[in-house]
Amino acid sequence: MKATLFPPASMRRLLPEQKRRAAPWIVGLMTFVSLVVGVAGLAVLGAVSDLSSSAAGRWSLQVTGTPADAARAEAMLRSTPGVTEVNRVPDAELRRTLQAWLGPAAQQLDLPLPVLAEVSVVGGGDALATELARRVPTARLTPYSAELAPLLQTLRGLAVLVAGLLVVLAAALAGAVTLAARAMLDTNRSTLDVLHGIGATDAQLLSLVQRRIAFDVLAGSAAGALAAVAVLVAALIPARGLLGGAAGAPALAAGGLALLALLPLVQAVLATVVARRALQQALAQGL
């Protein structure tokens, strides 16, 4: 095994050194793209987690009836066990929202405004919503999670798309490295034929080509990872919420970042293994 991974220096000198090889550049580019896509996926998952946790236990009260209906609905909620908070939206704020849509006329028109309030409920709120609708027909209590469901579903779909892109990139990387390995065999066909003719085994020839491919893959992965880190740090430092979860922004999970840090190494190992299998098949078929 050691001889396969580390052939003697005397044999390594027999394989001409190629100064310009495409494999490191291809691997570096794909590693860069994979890391950027992976960080985007982590940001999406962080947004889903933050939105889901912030919506838990929060309900929206809407009363379209008379002020007496609103007062009865608020009184019922405040007296219900499990309701920890009822924050009514001021009418002035509703007027400002209307003004954004209707302009200055919103302050002059005598428009009926619904009563809106944010309600915090500990435990199940479905029964409370049903009871409130029974007692005050013009009142409606809806969970924030229901309002956010379409957005969360879209974000989860984006996360699945990111995972699929990472799989496609890994497959493309393995294919590119395999093509580079076969090209190296074709380039050094005459040298390998001579070595094979003087008694070199397939395992020894494989070790020569595989070692160079492995170094190309590792060098490209390292360069692509460093470039991705530099770009991501420069892009994310202004948006500190993504890094630290400040200001309610989605934070990148430390565990997810740790797994993402292993992505270049995993891709490099996968590409090397696939290239080794392709080289074994080529040598078995007589190059």
Residue 83 and residue 121 in contact, taking contact as beta carbons nearer than 8 Å: yes
Q: Who contacts 5 (Cβ-Cβ below 8 Å, separation ≥6)? A: 207, 210, 211, 214
Domain ranges of the chain: 2-53+148-284, 65-137
Instruction: Give the span between the Cα atoms of 243 and 254, in whole angstroms.
Output: 9
Per-residue pLDDT of the chain (287 residues; tens, 9 = 90+): 444 445 555 444 555 555 556 778 888 898 899 888 888 888 888 888 888 887 877 888 888 878 888 888 888 888 888 888 888 888 778 777 777 777 776 666 666 778 888 888 887 777 888 888 888 888 888 888 888 888 889 989 998 999 899 889 888 888 888 887 777 777 766 666 666 666 666 666 667 677 777 788 888 888 888 988 888 778 766 655 444 444 444 455 566 677 777 878 887 788 778 777 877 777 666 55
| C-alpha distances in Å from residue 250, one per residue of 3, 45, 211, 226, 244 | 49, 8, 42, 24, 8
Q: Which residue has the tokens 């933050």?
A: 50
Look up the pTM and report it.
0.69
